[in-house]
Amino acid sequence: MPLSSHRDFAAALAFAASSVEHTMDRLLPKGDSDEARVYEAMRYSSLDGGKRLRAFFVLASATLFKVSALAALRTASAIEFVHAYSLIHDDLPAMDDDDLRRGKPSCHKQFDEATAILAGDALQALAFEVLAHEDTHGDAGVRAHLVGDLARAAGAHGMVGGQMLDLLAESRPDLSIGAITRLQRLKTGALISFSCTAGAILGKASDPPRMALSAYAHDLGLAFQIVDDLLDIEGSAAELGKTPGKDAAAGKATFVSILGSERARAQADLLARQAAAHLEPFGDAADLLRQAANFVVARRA
Amino acid sequence: MPLSSHRDFAAALAFAASSVEHTMDRLLPKGDSDEARVYEAMRYSSLDGGKRLRAFFVLASATLFKVSALAALRTASAIEFVHAYSLIHDDLPAMDDDDLRRGKPSCHKQFDEATAILAGDALQALAFEVLAHEDTHGDAGVRAHLVGDLARAAGAHGMVGGQMLDLLAESRPDLSIGAITRLQRLKTGALISFSCTAGAILGKASDPPRMALSAYAHDLGLAFQIVDDLLDIEGSAAELGKTPGKDAAAGKATFVSILGSERARAQADLLARQAAAHLEPFGDAADLLRQAANFVVARRA
């Protein structure tokens, strides 16, 4: 049953999550060799957790270009591996020092710091191994394109650069909205953008649809982050599955600390509507992505 | 001037080191953006250091298959980025906790732990970005092949798995020679093997020459590690540029602790001769790789 047969967003999201989970499970290492501790840590932190929103973006955008389910699921798995690695490393004591992730002890609490560092490193390598494999796409040019785009999104000019900015932003309540926007565009926006455009790459789409999806991702990623900041103020650990209130405690500037809750909420809603507007060229085929924009601003966790 | 014009190994190694250094410098991020701290850490730990033996293996094997200098240098840079990332993460307090690397403060001492973790993460991503780029090879199939092989060599079934074994081996003086061999084959052998076969992949060589280089790398990698263990006992920090005697202090089993120095030395010499024997099909063209085998067992650091 393809994703596109789901007209309801919640059902489609659940379907995407369980499909990608199944694919990730098959791609992750397992066995009882002496080094299996790192396999276990990789599985612990990447399986059975999260909304799988990035995977959903890959699968939903792939339906616009008649991409095979296998290609989309392997690409979605690669992105989720990178996302999982980034959470493991972000939670480390030297970084955000978080004991709780997705309602469970974070990787270094469940295992130890060394194992957590290695599990993150191996998950990043696995992502590129999966993308480069011919099962992901018969055209090697597509595979190399995916590897290059994901590597850029994950690296110093993307996610890692954003995390560096985020660490430097601690105890800097004076950051401007422009600086915070740039930080978030790198830290979370780059990977979300890759998730939304991967389907177009897999389907060898022309530039205009890929650009439209990139614009959708840009606005949606920012809306997503603003809502994250709102939930960090308003949410509870039980709802979030992670420790709330950390940004305020760290004296960190966020969209909410600068704009206030009300204006931040209005800004997120505006961005979500803007995101949906970029989908116009795709007509009804993009309905799930439209619903995703609503979901992102309406979510409680 | 191509590498093959050097008949003398020391001159060829120095030439390879300075060429790859130049290429890496151009590929590494630079700039004065707020997140430039992570760029600096990437540069600090990957430039101006090490023998560049892995880069040499790429360039020397590439000369056997008429590979362009640019292709070989970019591939060599990617491997050196992965090697540099692994050293940064290995030196972290939660891992081997080493303050000294290549005669300088290790990355987390020079910067801080968070920056070191991020610099390693970004160097890994950069390696795959470089390999996937069309400047590395005109044939996308070759690029995807390189990415897949490097990802496997670096990941849970390669370098990271070996590092996990190495951490678990601490306080296990009872490890067998077989277990230590497997540990080293994963931890350092996988990346050396990729370095020696990358030229064959770039040159679209047939299986037999690639297998011969893989066999060469297998024996050479083990000889390299045995000599590392010998130097760890015999060397000084000034010669090594890192802290010596750590394995013995950690109660870790090594080739030397099990075999004794004399038999370990004899075993390394035997492996180096075996390695050179695998190069027979290449005739004189493989002379630099033969000299490299001698160098690996004769080196003092």
> Model ipTM?
0.95
**pLDDT at position B99:** 93
Show the CA angle centred on residue A143, arms to residues A27 and A201, nearest 5°: 110
Residue A251 covered by a domain: yes
Q: Residue A167 is nearest to which of B39, B114, B163, comparing CB atoms?
A: B114
Residue percentage of chain A with pLDDT more than 90? 80
Q: Residue A113 is nearest to which of B42, B94, B133, comparing CB atoms?
A: B94
Residue span of the structural domain in which B166 resides: 3-298
Residue percentage of chain A with pLDDT more than 70? 95
d(CA A151, CA A195): 13
Does position A48 have pLDDT exceeding 90, yes or no? Answer: no
Q: Residue B157 is nearest to which of A29, A124, A154, comparing CB atoms?
A: A29
**pLDDT at position B237:** 60
Kindly identify which residue of chain A lies nearest to residue B144, measuring between CA atoms: A132
- Interface A-B, measured as beta-carbon pairs within 8 A, has a size of 171
Residue A3 covered by a domain: no
List chain B residues with CB under 8 Å of A39: 156
Query: Is the CB of B122 less than 8 angstroms away from the CB of A147?
Result: no
**Cα separations (Å) of A183 from A21, A151, A163, A189?**
29, 18, 8, 9
**pLDDT at position B5:** 74
Burial A141-175 (b: 16+ CB within 10 A, else e): bbbbbbbbbbbbbbbbbbbbbbbbbbbbbeeeeeb
Query: Is the CB of A29 less than 8 angstroms away from the CB of B156?
Result: yes
The tally of domains found in chain A comes to 1
Residues A155-206 have pLDDT tens digits of: 999 999 999 999 998 877 788 999 999 999 999 999 999 999 999 999 999 9
User: What DSSP line would sit under B131-187, residue for residue?
Assistant: HHSTTT-S-HHHHHHHHHHHHHHHSTTTHHHHHHHHHHHTT-TT--HHHHHHHHIII
The pLDDT of A35-60, averaged and rounded, is 95
Instruction: Return the closest-CA partner of residue B41 out of A87, A158, A161, A124.
Output: A161
Rg (CA), chain A: 18
**pLDDT at position A232:** 85
Does position A238 have pLDDT exceeding 70, yes or no? Answer: no
The pLDDT of B216-241, averaged and rounded, is 84
Which tokens hold the place of A152? 């850029």
d(CA A238, CA B54): 49
- How far is A300 from chain B, CA to nearest CA, in Å? 30
**pLDDT at position B285:** 94
Q: How confident is the model at residue B233 (pLDDT cuts 50, 70, 90)?
A: confident
| Torsion of the alpha carbons at A178, A182, A184 and A189, rounded to the nearest 10 | 130
Residue percentage of chain B with pLDDT more than 70? 95
Sign of the four-CA dihedral A248, A253, A254, A259: positive
pTM of the full structure: 0.95
d(CA B111, CA B115): 6
User: What DSSP line would sit under B255-277, residue for residue?
Assistant: HHHHH-HHHHHHHHHHHHHHHHH
Residues B30-66 have pLDDT tens digits of: 999 889 999 999 999 999 778 999 999 999 999 999 9
Q: Where are the alpha helices (DSSP H) in chain A?
A: 9-27, 36-46, 53-62, 69-91, 107-110, 113-132, 140-154, 159-168, 177-184, 190-202, 207-234, 237-240, 246-249, 255-259, 261-277, 287-298
Q: Output the average pLDDT for chain B.
A: 93
d(CA B149, CA B132): 12
Coil vs helix vs strand at A100: strand
Residue A265 covered by a domain: yes
d(CA A226, CA B41): 30
Read off the DSSP letter of residue B111: S
List chain A residues with CB under 8 Å of B94: 112-114, 117
Which tokens hold the place of B292? 């490299």
d(CA B76, CA A135): 27
The neighbour count for residue A230, using CB atoms within 10 Å, is: 18
Largest CA distance in chain B: 54
Q: Are B301 and B239 in contact, with CB atoms under 8 Å apart?
A: yes
The neighbour count for residue B135, using CB atoms within 10 Å, is: 11
Query: Is the CB of B144 less than 8 angstroms away from the CB of A147?
Result: yes
Residues A4-33 have pLDDT tens digits of: 777 789 999 999 999 999 999 999 999 998
Query: Is the CB of B125 less than 8 angstroms away from the CB of A155?
Result: yes
Residue A2 covered by a domain: no
Q: Are A76 and A59 in contact, with CB atoms under 8 Å apart?
A: yes
CATH number of the domain where residue A50 is located? 1.10.600.10
- How far is B207 from chain A, CA to nearest CA, in Å? 19
